[in-house]
Amino acid sequence: MDALLSKLLLYLQYPFVIHALIVGLLIALCSSLFGVTLVLKRFSFIGDGLAHVAFGAMAAASVLGFANRTAFILPVTILCAVWLLRGGQSARVKGDAAIAMISVGALAFGYLLLHLFTPSANISADVCGTLFGSASILTLTEEEVWLCAVLSLLMLLVFILFYHKIFYVTFDEDFARAVGTNARLYNLLIALVIAVIIVLSMNLVGSLLISAFVIFPALSAMRLFATFRTVTIGAAVVSVLGALLGLLLAIVAGTPVGATIVAIDALAFFLCTLAGRLRDGATG
Amino acid sequence: MPQILCRDLAAGYPGHPVFSGLNFSVNAGDYLCIVGENGAGKTTLMKTLLGLRKPLAGRVEFGDGLTPREIGYLSQQTPVQRDFPASVREVVLSGFQGRMGLRPFYNRAEKEQARENMARLGIEDLAGHCYRDLSGGQQQRVLLARALGAARKLLLLDEPVAGLDPLVTADMYRILRELHQSGMTIVMITHDVSEALPFANRVLHIGKRLFSGSQTEYRSWRAALAAPAGKAG
Ligand SMILES: Nc1ncnc2c1ncn2[C@@H]1O[C@H](COP(=O)(O)OP(=O)(O)OP(=O)(O)O)[C@@H](O)[C@H]1O
Ligand SMILES: [Mg+2]
C-alpha cells in the first residue's frame, strides 16, 4: 500500500501527469453532460459510428505524420456528424445504414492504412492503443493537452449557455418548432458538440470505448434521478469521479487508462441500478 | 390583415389529401372553434397552420404583426419518451424559450409567471414532480401551462379538455375566457359542442363539407344539413 502511494506521489510530481489528470477530468465532465443528450435523443449509435470515423482519421493522421493529430481528426469527425444528422430525427431510419457503412468503412480503412504504412514492427500494439486508449492520455503532446483543455472548457460553456434550450428541443421538438424555434439549428449544434466530445474522449479512452464512456454516467444517473437537472448533475459527478479513480488506478496499477475508467463507469452503473431498484422497492 | 389567413389550402399526407380548398381567416381577438368528425383533418390543419406540415396546395399567411414566437400550442398527442427525466417545473418553464431568443436563463418574471400558470391549472403542488410519473390528465395540464407561457397573442389548442375531469374542464373554459377577454386570440379544436361552442364567436367545420362562419350561422347550417334534401343551402 505504501509502495503504491509513493509511486502515485512520484508520478504526481510531474507536471505532465497533473496536466493529463486535469484534462482527463474536464473531458469526463463535458462528455457526461452531453452524454445525457445523446441518450435522450437516441443518438447513442451515432456516437459509436463517429468514434470509428475518428479512428480512421487518427490512422490517416498518424500515417501522414501530423504532429497535432487532434487538429486533423476534429474537422473530419465534425463533418461526418453534420452529414449524418443533417436530416434530423425523421431521417433516423434511413441514416442507420449510412452510419453502419461509414463506421465499418472507416475502421477498415484506418486499420489498412496503419498496416501498410506504419514502420514499427509492433503494429498490433499501435492499433490496440488507438482502439482502447492504452496510456494515451499520458502520451499526448503539450499542444494536444492544451487543445483538449481549451475545447473542453468551450464545450462546458456551450452546455451552460444552452442547457435550457437543449432540454427544450430534446423534450418536445414539435412544440419547439411550432412556437418558432429553429430546432434544426439546435440539432446541428448538438451534432457538432457531440463530434468534438467524441474526439476529445478518444484521447482519453480510445475509440472503441467512447460510447460506453459517454453513455454510462448518463444511464447511471437516469436510474437514480427523474428531473433533467438532477440527472445532469448526477451524470457529471459519476463521470468525474469515475475518471479520477480510473486515472489514478491506471497510474498506480499500470492498467490501461480507458479500460480502467470504463470498467469503473460500468460498476457505477451497476451500483446505481441496484440502488434505484432498492429505493423503488422500498417505496412502492 | 387577419392574424392567420388560409387561401385555398389543401393539407394531408403524400398521396392522401385530407381536405382541400379551405379558405378562412383568424382575426385578432377571435375565439374560433374547429369542429368535425374523427379523422376529418382538424389536427392536420392545425399542424399545417403551425408550419409543422407543408401545405399540399394553397397558402398559410401570418399577418397583423403575428410571429410564431407569440403562439402557444397544445398538441393532441405529445409522445414523450418513457424515460425522459423532466420535472413539471422544467417543462412549464420551457414554454418561455420561444420568446427568449438566445438568452440562456429564465428571468424572475418568467419564473413568477410559470408559478402563476401552474397555480391557475392546479398543478402548483406537482412542480417538483417527475413529468412522466403523472396521470394523463395531469400531464395535459402541465402541457397547457407550458402553452400559456408561450402564448402572447394566439393560443392554438388541439382538444385541450380531452382527458380532464369535469371540474378541471370547467376551470379550463373559464381560463380560456379570461385569456380571451384580456386580448388573446383562441383557436381550439373540440368535440365538446355543447360546452365549448357557446364561448366561440367563430366556428370552422372540417369534413366532407367545409364551413366557416359565426356561431348562429353554424347552427343554421347544421340545421339545414340535417333537414331533408332540397332545402339544404
Ligand atoms: N402520419 C400520417 N400519415 C398518413 N395519414 C395520416 C397521418 N396522420 C393522420 N393521417 C390521416 O389523416 C386524416 C386526418 O387526421 P387528423 O389527425 O387530422 O384527424 P382529426 O380531425 O384531428 O381527428 P380526431 O378528431 O380523431 O383528432 C385521417 O384520415 C388520418 O388517417
Ligand atoms: Mg385530432
ipTM entry: 0.92
Q: Kindly state the cell numbers that stand for A40.
A: 435522450
Mean of the pLDDT values across residues A25-40?
A: 93
When pLDDT is averaged across residues A43-51 and rounded to a whole number, the result is 80
Question: Pocket of ligand 1, candidates B37, B43, B46: which has the most ligand atoms within 8 Å of its Cβ, to mutate?
Answer: B43
Q: Dihedral angle at the C-alpha atoms of A218, A221, A223, A225, nearest 10 degrees?
A: -130
pLDDT in tens, A199-251: 888 888 887 888 889 999 999 999 999 999 999 999 999 999 999 999 999 88
pLDDT at residue B88, rounded to an integer: 97
CATH superfamily placement of domain A2-273? ABC transporter involved in vitamin B12 uptake, BtuC (1.10.3470.10)
Spatial separation of the C-alpha atoms in residues B101 and A65, rounded to whole Å: 44
3-state secondary structure B132-164: HHCCHHHHHHHHHHHHHHHCCCEEEEECCCCCC
Which cell goes with A158? 456551450
Longest Cα–Cα distance of chain A, Å, equals: 63
Sort out which chain A residues have CB atoms less than 8 A from B132's CB and list them.
226
**Contact residues on chain B for A181, CB-CB shorter than 8 A:** 97-98
Average pLDDT, chain A: 85
Tell me the DSSP string of A72-84. HHHHHHHHHHHHH
Residues 157-186 of A with CB under 8 A from B: 160-165, 167-168, 170-172, 174-181
Which residues of A are less than 8 Å from B81 in CB distance?
A: 40
CA–centroid distance for A86 within its chain:
21
What does the alpha-carbon distance between residue A234 and residue A229 come to, in Å, rounded to a whole number? 8
Count CA within 13 A, CB hemisphere, residue B74: 26
- pLDDT bracket for residue A137 (50, 70, 90): low
Cell of A274: 441496484
Is the separation of the CB atoms in A15 and A191 below 8 Å? no
- Say whether B186 sits in a helix, a strand or coil: strand
List of residues 6+ apart from A113 with CB closer than 8 A: A56, A59, A60, A62, A63
Nearest to A248 by CA among A7, A2, A3: A7
pLDDT, position A121? 56
Whether the pLDDT of residue B159 is over 80: the answer is yes
**Quick one: pLDDT at residue B230?**
52
Using the Cβ of A3 and the Cβ atoms of chain B, whether some distance falls under 8 Å is answered with: no
Contact A176, A183 (CB under 8 A): yes
DSSP labels, B15-65: TEEEEEEEEEEE-TT-EEEEE--TTSSHHHHHHHHTTSS--SEEEEEE-TT
Does residue B200 contact residue B33 with C-beta atoms inside 8 Å?
A: yes
**Count of beta carbons in the 10 Å neighbourhood of residue A132:** 18
Boundaries of every domain in chain A: 2-273
Q: Which residues of B fall below an 8 Å CB-CB distance to A? A: 50-52, 67-69, 71-73, 75, 78, 80-81, 83-87, 90-91, 93-95, 97-98, 104-106, 128, 130, 132-133, 146, 150, 156
- Cell numbers at residue B192, please? 365538446
Q: Are A128 and A200 in contact (CB under 8 A)?
A: no
Distance CA A53, CA A67 (A): 19
Query: Are A178 and B71 an interchain contact pair (Cβ–Cβ within 8 Å)?
Result: yes
- Per-residue model confidence as pLDDT tens digits over A8-30: 888 888 887 888 889 999 999 99
Determine whether the interchain pair B133/A178 forms a contact, defined as Cβ–Cβ distance below 8 Å.
Answer: no
**In what side-by-side order are the strands of the sheet with B71-74?**
B71-74, B154-158, B185-189, B31-35, B202-205, B211-214
In this structure, which amino acid lies at residue B99?
Answer: R
Angle among Cα A84, A172, A232 to the nearest 5 degrees reads 80
Residue nearest to atom 1 of ligand 1 (CA): B13
**Which residues are registered as beta bridge partners of B127?**
none
C-alpha cell at B114: 410559470
Cβ atoms of A209 and A260 within 8 Å: the answer is no
CA torsion, points A143, A149, A151, A153, in degrees to nearest 10? -160
Using the predicted structure, report yes or no on whether residue B9 has a pLDDT greater than 70. yes
How far apart are alpha carbons A63 and A73 in whole angstroms?
13
Indicate if the pLDDT at residue B95 is higher than 70: yes
pLDDT on residue A93? 47
Rounded to an integer, what distance in angstroms lies between the CA atom of residue A168 and that of residue B97? 7
What is the C-alpha to C-alpha distance for residues B218 and B200, in angstroms, rounded to an integer?
Answer: 11
Handedness of CA B38, B60, B155, B215 (dihedral sign): negative
Most A CBs within 10 Å, among B97, B130, B148, B153, to test the A interface: B97
Instruction: Tell whether domain B1-66+153-233 is in CATH 3.40.50.300.
Output: yes
A268 pLDDT higher than 90:
yes
Percent share of chain A, pLDDT over 70? 87
pLDDT at position A119, please?
63
Ion ligand 2 — residues with CB under 5 Å? B 43, 76
Query: Tens of pLDDT along B108-142?
Result: 999 999 999 999 889 999 999 999 999 988 999 99
What's the confidence (pLDDT) of residue B35? 95
- Closest residue to B90, CB basis, from A165, A167, A177: A167
Q: How confident is the model at residue A42 (pLDDT cuts 50, 70, 90)?
A: confident
The per-residue pLDDT for A126 is 64
pLDDT surpasses 80 at A253? yes
Tell me which long-range contacts B104-113 makes (C-beta under 8 A, separation of at least 24).
B104/A160, B104/A161, B104/A162, B104/A163, B104/A164, B104/A165, B105/A164, B106/A164, B110/B149, B113/B149
Q: What is the C-alpha separation between A18 and A134, in angstroms, rounded?
A: 18
CA A282 from centre of chain: 35
Cβ contact B94:A170 at 8 Å: no
Give B75's contacts in chain A (Cβ within 8 Å): 174-175, 178
Average pLDDT over residues B218-232: 77
- Tell me the Cα Rg of chain B: 18
- Give dist(CA A232, CA A205) in Å, integer: 21
Report the pLDDT value the prediction gives residue A105, as an integer from 0 to 100.
83
Portion of chain B with pLDDT greater than 70, in percent = 97
Predicted pLDDT at B233: 43
Domain residue extents for chain B: 1-66+153-233, 79-152
